[in-house]
Structure formats: structure tokens, C-alpha cells
């Protein structure tokens, strides 16, 4: 189970904000190419990889499938699918680097890839080459695919 004491802050990210941040990441990456393709770390890296692929006009996309989270549990990372190259000329994309444990596994799989994430926390930041936004280690990033919209009572009515 997620250690709730580990997360003191919530950082909700909307679809619009995610898109802006992925475009900003693309601006940082465009001059570092040319790129052979993108390796998206599933599942979190899939949406950012799609946006970045569009912005950088990359049509070759593959996945590295690692699992260390489900919606509420964090555990040991499991490799579900590997790739057959060392990453030379490839972009490795993920949504977030947190502790760096999953990132280290991915980095070991494709050591020559350029590793970019949209968001980074201090513990994982040394494992990536490029990122856009740093958040504190005690912050839970709520991605739009993990959230839903719902009605919230007006403050004045909720206090009655």
C-alpha cells in the first residue's frame, strides 16, 4: 500500500497542463536529436510519449514494460517486456521519476538512450537526462488518467 505518511502534498495535473508540460519537454529535446524513435515506459510514459512523438515528428515508438505500481500499491519493479537495443539514438520517456528505482532498471536496459521525464522528484532526478518540472519528494502527483471529475458542493452550502 502507498505509505500515506510519505506524501504530504498533492499536485493535481490537468490534461491541459500535461500537454503544455510535454510540449515544453519537446522544446528541450528537439535540438538534442535526431532521434531514431521513442521508448515509452509503460504505462505512465505512454501519453507523454504520444505528445512528444507528435511534437518531434517521430513515428517509431516502442515500449519498455515495467510495473512497480498499481493504483494504490508500490512494490518491486517487474520487467514485463524488454527491447533488443542499447538505446543509442533513442528517447526514453516516462511521466515521472520518483525514487529512481524503476528508472534505474530502464536505464540499465537501454544505457545509451536519452532519458526524459515530464516530472522529477529529488531522489530520482539524477537518473534522468532531461525533465521539465521538479516537485518535492513528499508530493503525490495526481495524473489526469488517475482522476475523475465530480460535483463538489459550494463551500457556503457544505458548512450548513
For residue range 56-74, what is the model confidence (pLDDT) as tens digits?
999 999 999 987 665 555 6
Active-site annotation holds for 84: no
Active-site annotation holds for 146: no
Strand order in the sheet with 74-81: 74-81, 61-69, 37-42, 90-97, 114-120, 130-134
pTM above 0.75, yes or no: yes
Q: Which CATH number fits domain 10-158: 3.40.50.2020, 1.10.10.10, 1.10.1060.10, 3.40.50.300?
A: 3.40.50.2020
Candidate list 3, 31, 62, 94, residue with the active-site label: 94
Taking phi first (over 0 means left), then psi (-120 to 50 degrees means alpha), and beta for anything else, what does residue 117 get?
beta
Across 22-51, average pLDDT: 96
Condensed to tens digits (0 to 9), the pLDDT of residues 125-138 reads 999 999 999 999 99
Candidate list 31, 95, 129, 138, residue with the active-site label: 95
The length of the chain in residues reads 160
**What are the boundaries of each domain within the chain?**
10-158
Between the CA atoms of 149, 120, 17 and 21, what dihedral angle is there, to the nearest 10 degrees? -150
Active-site annotation holds for 95: yes
Amino acid at each position: 500500500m502507498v505509505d500515506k505518511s510519505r506524501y504530504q502534498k498533492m499536485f493535481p495535473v490537468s490534461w491541459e497542463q500535461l500537454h503544455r508540460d510535454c510540449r515544453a519537454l519537446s522544446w528541450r529535446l528537439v535540438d538534442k536529436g535526431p532521434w531514431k524513435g521513442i521508448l515509452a515506459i509503460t504505462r505512465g510514459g505512454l501519453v507523454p510519449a504520444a505528445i512528444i512523438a507528435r511534437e518531434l515528428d517521430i513515428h517509431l515508438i516502442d515500449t519498455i514494460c515495467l510495473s512497480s505500481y498499481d493504483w494504490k500499491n508500490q512494490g518491486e519493479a517487474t520487467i514485463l517486456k524488454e527491447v533488443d537495443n542499447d538505446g543509442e539514438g533513442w528517447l526514453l520517456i516516462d511521466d515521472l521519476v520518483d525514487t529512481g528505482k524503476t528508472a534505474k532498471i530502464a536505464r540499465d536496459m537501454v544505457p545509451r538512450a536519452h532519458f526524459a521525464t515530464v516530472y522529477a522528484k529529488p531522489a530520482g532526478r539524477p537518473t534522468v537526462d532531461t525533465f521539465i518540472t521538479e516537485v518535492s519528494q513528499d508530493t503525490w502527483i495526481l495524473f489526469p488518467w488517475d482522476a475523475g471529475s465530480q460535483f463538489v458542493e459550494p463551500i457556503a452550502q457544505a458548512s450548513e
